[in-house]
Structure 1
Amino acid sequence: MMYEASTIEASTKEPHLVQKSRERGVLGIRSRDDALLAKMGYKSEFRREFSMLETIAFAFSIMGVCSAVSTTFFFPLQTAGHVGMVFGWLIPCFFVLCVAASLAELTSSMPTSAGLYYFSAKLAPPQYSALSSWITGWANVTGQIALVCSIDFTCAQMFVTAISVGTDGTVNLGPGSMYGILIALLLSHAIVCSAATQVIARLTLVYAFINVSTAIAAVVSLIVASGDNRVSAKDAFTLLENGTGWKNDVWAFFLSFTAPMWVLTGYDAAAHISEEVTGAARAAPVAILSGVLATEFLGFLIVIAASFASTSVTELRATELPLPMGQLFLNVLGKKGMLALWSILISVQWVNGVTQGVDASRVTFALARDRGLPGSRWWKQINRHTQTPVNAVWLVMSCSAIIGILVFSETALSSLAGATVVGLYTSYTIPIVLRLTSGRHKFVPGPFSLGRWSLPIGIIAVSWATFVSILLLFPLSQMPSAEEMNYAVVIVAAVFIFSSGSWVLSARRWFSGPLPNIDIDDSGNSTRNNHQLEMEKTSEQ
């Protein structure tokens, strides 16, 4: 009996011991994460609240597949019709996966919120390290802020679409009202993105499941509810209808790539939150690839369903609703069904804005920490209550509100999408090029490595990124008027002129790339040298 009692007592303690063991394991992983971060020159300033599952959910949620495909449906519809919907999505998927794989390898090696511009600094020749880091950092911040603005702009369009459908077309809000909704959305995101990391991690995990469920529901609804009104398989996959001002059908088809390229951005977010991730060297690259693959697969199902359900491309193009996908759902599901599904899509897009706001604020914080932005001493501050870069969050939202003035242009989405892709994919390309050239022999792989495939995959990634960065600067018309102009080139040029002028006139004298805020000596103690302190004072001034 004594033996049985002791056995029972031990068994009751066992779950507690298992939990303690797990906690020690997590603490051990976090300690290794912080040690790796310190080796890269940074002290840990965030709570590591993101698990691997939550990191995957974050990377997936930032692309908001169903809501993002719905808001960009205009591009394939206008450029190439059914062919644009299906193959305009499918073709870019392969090339984007190559870009994502290359970034995943870099992130696994150097998991820091500085991300891309840190990679560039470490892989570039010493004499060009600071310049490479400066260009990459500014390109990435530009793309990040443009993406925040474009997500909230499309969310505002979704609200306007819902109001129009709900009132049977009697209320059609104009650009002024849409800009007001955009400001309200940015304000809500500024508040939520300022919250503690744990809150954001849980929110994105929940919405990852909602995102997947909504995507599946949209696919089933479009296929089933369209019934016998579906177009033939031949038309759904092969019918090309050029609705642009370009005479060349192939070039018009290329412009349909705008939709997937805008959707498939921001997956570098897993790199920018890596200082908040447990086991970042493994979790972050897995999250990048998982998020991209899941988005590509679900997005492909959605566009196939939409192509089958689109009985008249001409009618959808002529809709008075801001978003043609809203018209398609209305045609297929009716008013109540459309509004029910559309409401969920709005919430998904809103959370998409939260995740992108977090991403943009983290890279802004990181660049400010390295003295790469005007007023860096303000934007690098961490709030002592939430341990998040609240000042950087509000800077991002304020800049997005300024760019949001483009809502008064007829080509607002084209301009914002172009600026987003050009900015982000330029920042993706530079470190990949350096990984293949000057940094090839000094690159130290992390747990995730492409091995011998890094060279061919990297070449494909760079070639594709260069192609789409040029492509998305073009308007949808061969002879555009002022209203039809793609203003992405204006945004990109403005940032390029400002950042280049800053470099030539000032930054080249004091910006040296990633600036360590911790030094580890042989005994494991942190030290700060006088030269570094002097550089910090000079750059802040």
Structure 2
Amino acid sequence: MDIVKNEKDEHRSFEATIDTDNISLRHADDLLLAQLGYKSEFKREFSAWIQLIETVAFSFSIMGVIASVSSTLIFGLDSGGHVGIVFGWLIPCIFVLTVALSMAELTSAMPTSAGLYYFAAKLAPSEYGPLASWITGWANIAGQTTLVCSIDFTCAQMITTAVAVASDGAVVLSAGATFGILWGILFSHAIVCSAATNVLARLNVFYVLVNVGSTLAAIIALLVVSGDAKVSTKDAFTLFENNTGWASNGWAFILSFTAPMWTLTGYDSAAHISEEVAGAATAAPIAILVGVVATASLGWIVLIAVSFVIPSVSDLLSSELPLPMGQVFLNVLGKRGMLAIWSLIIVVQYVTGAAQGVDASRVVFAFSRDDALPGSRWWKRINPYTQTPVNAVWLVMVVAALCGTVGFSETALNSLAGAAVIGLYTSYAFPIFLSIIGGKDKITPGPFTLGRFSKPIGWIAVSWVSFITIMLLFPPGLKTTAQEMNYAVVMMGGVFIFASAWWMLSAKKWFHGPVTNVDSPRKDQGETTPDHEHSSRSD
């Protein structure tokens, strides 16, 4: 009995130690957030026990591997065939890693849901801080919102592909029907993303299992079931076909970079949920890097498997299915096999859209908290029941639905993907640029730092983003019409004109960058006292 009693006492002591550690960790996070100028408004329910797993899961969920590869296979097929599929993925991933490394370093130093536009404000010269914050914030919100739309749009295309296969081609849904499905998905995501943080945290671990499991299942199924029908290793890696209409094969190949650039977006989500994570200064940068490396690696393996089972690129491009990847699975696995694995891919894509919806809503909340959006007083409200920014969630979904109107064009995915990448990567690169030209000296490094490699890696990252932004503004083909043009330039141009005009006419007079909503930390207690009033300038 004494032994049992001692064991119980030791167990209680151990649990008490864990609880104390969790409380201390959350308190340290809140103090760091207060030093950055914000009071803690979210519950930190991405728990201390499994904080790293849950945060990595969230970052990884936004870049759903098999679903993203299935959505964007068309880019590689058009722009290089087998070479475009394999190396059009690999090359950009190497450069994206430099962006992720720089992003992880900044996030470790400044873990706040404001994320990138907060980084820009603190890294810029003081007189240009507000403008730097304004540019970065608007670029990020534009990218975040169009990314929600593009993910859910491809989810709708996946559903229409499944319907076509299930009906043996008898039912081919129109663009209008696809748009209706998109709206239904966005509505459901609005409900899911309004849930409490602890619900989302637990779901994301499940999301990763489905994501990785579906990816591995697709790789094994394609390679095993195809048997001897595979192309040669030489053809799988070196056969080049230009189906873009551009005369230059080099330029055609570069256009295949759109696929991995669109897939490897949203990993800044680890920064945007940092106020809901315990130990954010360590967990968030690790989540960024693990998410990018895992997605890039698994995606490349999937595409190598796909390249081996495509005997004819031209035949695949002539498929009537909305997404060519559906035809790949149909050719190799047959109708039942295709529908089985395609159902899992739809689930992955749906979950990816939900994770991105959470990310985008946190950005809207943070930017509104600093009074930088029209109607900020509505979007910065935290629901008292769920402790999440429900109003911001619904705003994101409504705007994403409006962006979905480009779905009536033939190059809808190209336009949405281009707009998302341009907006997001511009917001990634701007703070990195400010950091490497001297801004880094103004901040205290976090647990994750690149040390002497920070500037070289940062310059590579900024140069890559500059190049890819220009590339994504080009149309997919040499000749364009109103239906075939790349609407990314229209979408991002509209945001730029609106944000610039508002800045010149009004915002520069009252927007001073991130708004502090806590008093200075008390030196005697090391605690903070929140302000009871938070001025609102743009309502």
The interval holding the TM-score normalised by the smaller chain is over 0.9
Q: Following superposition of structure 1 onto structure 2, how do residues 277-316 of structure 1 map, counting pairs within 5 Å?
A: 277-316=277-316
1:525 CA displacement: 5.7
**TM-fit CA distance, 1:522:** 3.1
Give me the whole-angstrom Cα distance separating, in 2, the residues matched to 1:451 and 1:86: 33
Matched, 1:17 2:16: no
Instruction: Read off the aligned partner of 2:90 and give its amino acid letter.
Output: L
Q: Is the 8 A contact 1:317 1:324 kept in 2?
A: yes
Q: 1:127 and 1:313 mapped to 2: Cα distance?
A: 54
Tell me which residue corresponds to 1:34: 30
Local SS of the residue matching 1:245: coil
Contact 1:435 1:443 in 2 (8 A): no
In 2, the alpha carbon distance for the partners of 1:16 and 1:295 equals 41
> Cα distance, 1:246 vs. partner?
0.2
Partner of 1:522: 523
Deviation per CA, 1:164-221: give whole Å up to 9, x if none.
0000000000110000000000000000000000111111111101111111110111
Distance 2:386 2:332 in 1: 45
Q: 1:215 maps to which residue?
A: 215
Q: For the residues of structure 2 that align with 1:101 and 1:525, how far apart are their CA atoms?
A: 32
Q: Residues 302-381 of structure 1: matches in 2 within 5 Å?
A: 302-381=302-381
Deviates more, 1:318-327 or 1:513-522: 513-522
Name the TM-score, length of structure 2 as normaliser: 0.97
Q: Report the Cα distance in structure 1 between the residues aligned to 2:476 and 2:79, rounded to whole angstroms.
A: 8
In the alignment, which residue of structure 2 is the partner of 1:438?
Answer: 438
> What amino acid is the match of 2:494?
A
1:510 corresponds in structure 2 to 510
Counterpart CA distance in 2 for 1:36 and 1:501 is: 35
1: CA distance, partners of 2:443 / 2:96: 22
Whether contact under 8 Å (1:232, 1:308) holds in the other structure is yes
- SS, match of residue 358 in structure 1: helix
Pick closer, same or farther for the CA change 1:528–1:223 going to 2, 3 Å.
closer
Shift of 1:312: 0.8
Amino acid at match of 1:522: K
The percentage of aligned residue pairs carrying the same residue is: 60
Distance 2:100 2:386 in 1: 31
Tell me what 1:480 maps to.
480
Cα offsets for 1:415-439 (capped at 9, x unmatched): 0000000000000010000110131
Distance 1:117 1:265 in 2: 17
Q: Where does 1:35-434 land on structure 2 (aligned, <5 Å)?
A: 35-50=31-46, 51-434=51-434
- 8 A Cα contact 2:34 2:528, kept in partner: no
Q: Rate the CA distance shift 1:248–1:540 in 2: closer, same or farther, 3 A.
A: closer
Amino acid in the other structure paired with 1:458: G
Amino acid paired to 1:293: V
CA drift at 1:352: 0.3
User: Which is further off, 215-224 or 143-152?
Assistant: 215-224
Distance 1:475 1:202 in 2: 41
Deviation at 1:441, TM superposition (A): 1.8
Give me the whole-angstrom Cα distance separating, in 2, the residues matched to 1:149 and 1:323. 17
Displacement, 1:517?
Answer: 0.7
Q: Which residue number corresponds to residue 7 of structure 1?
A: 3
* Per-residue deviation, 1:18: 1.4
Are 1:274 and 1:280, in contact at CA under 8 Å, matched by a contact in 2?
yes
Which moved further from structure 2: 10-19 or 235-244? 10-19
Question: How many residue pairs align between the two structures?
Answer: 533
> What CA deviation, in whole Å up to 9, does each residue of 1:288-330 have, x standing for no partner?
0000010011001000000001111011100000000000000
State whether residues 96 and 461 of structure 2, in contact with CA within 8 Å, keep that contact through their aligned partners in structure 1: yes
3-state SS of the aligned residue for 1:474?
Answer: coil
Deviation, 1:449, is 0.4
Q: Match of 1:433, as an amino acid?
A: F
Deviation readout 1:2-48 (Å, 9 max, x if unpaired): xxx43332113222221221111111100100010011110100011
CA drift at 1:78: 1.1
Q: Give the partner amino acid of 1:164.
A: A
1:484, distance to aligned residue in structure 2 (A): 1.2
Whether the 8 Å contact between 2:31 and 2:528 is mirrored in structure 1 is no
Displacement of 1:108: 0.2
Matches of 2:269 and 2:326, distance apart in 1: 29
Supply the AA of the counterpart residue of 1:118.
Y
Residues 117-169 of structure 1 show CA distances to partners (whole Å, capped at 9, x for unaligned) of: 00000000001000000000000000000000000000000000000000000
Q: Give the counterpart letter for 1:101 in structure 2.
A: L
Mapped contact 2:39–2:530 kept (Cα < 8 A): no
Residue 462 of structure 2 aligns with which residue? 462
The whole-number CA distance in structure 2 between the counterparts of 1:34 and 1:481 is: 53
Instruction: State the distance in 2 between where 1:7 and 1:171 align.
Output: 70
* Contact 2:98–2:457 under 8 Å retained in 1: yes
Q: How far did residue 414 of structure 1 move?
A: 0.2
Is residue 376–residue 540 contact of structure 1 (8 Å, CA) maintained in 2?
yes
**Deviation (angstroms), 1:223:** 0.8
SS at match of 2:261: helix
- Relative to structure 1, is the Cα distance of residues 236 and 525 closer, same or farther in structure 2, using a 3 angstrom cutoff? closer
Q: Which amino acid in structure 2 is aligned with residue 22 of structure 1?
A: I
Instruction: Report the Cα distance in structure 1 between the residues aligned to 2:87 and 2:148, rounded to whole angstroms.
Output: 27
CA contact (8 A) 1:37 1:44 kept: yes
1:480 Cα shift?
Answer: 1.2
Which runs of 5 or more structure 2 residues have no equivalent in the other structure? none
Q: State how far apart, in whole Å, the 2-side matches of 1:178 and 1:244 are.
A: 25
Contact 1:155–1:346 at 8 Å: present in 2 too? yes
Segment drifting more, 14-23 vs 503-512: 14-23
* Secondary structure of the structure 1 residue equivalent to 2:178: helix
| Contact 1:143 1:421 (C-alpha < 8 Å) held by counterparts | yes
* Residue matched to 1:536: 535
1:230–1:39 distance in 2 versus 1, CA, 3 Å: same
Secondary structure of 1:169's aligned partner: coil
497 and 371 in structure 1: CA distance in 2 versus 1, 3 angstrom threshold: same
Q: Which moves more between the two structures, 441-450 or 127-136?
A: 441-450
| Residues 233-257 of structure 1, C-alpha deviations (whole Å, 9 max, x = no match) | 0000000000001010010000000
Contact 2:79–2:256 (CA<8 Å) still a contact in 1? yes
Structure 1 residue 495: Cα displacement: 0.1
Deviation at 1:356, TM superposition (A): 0.1
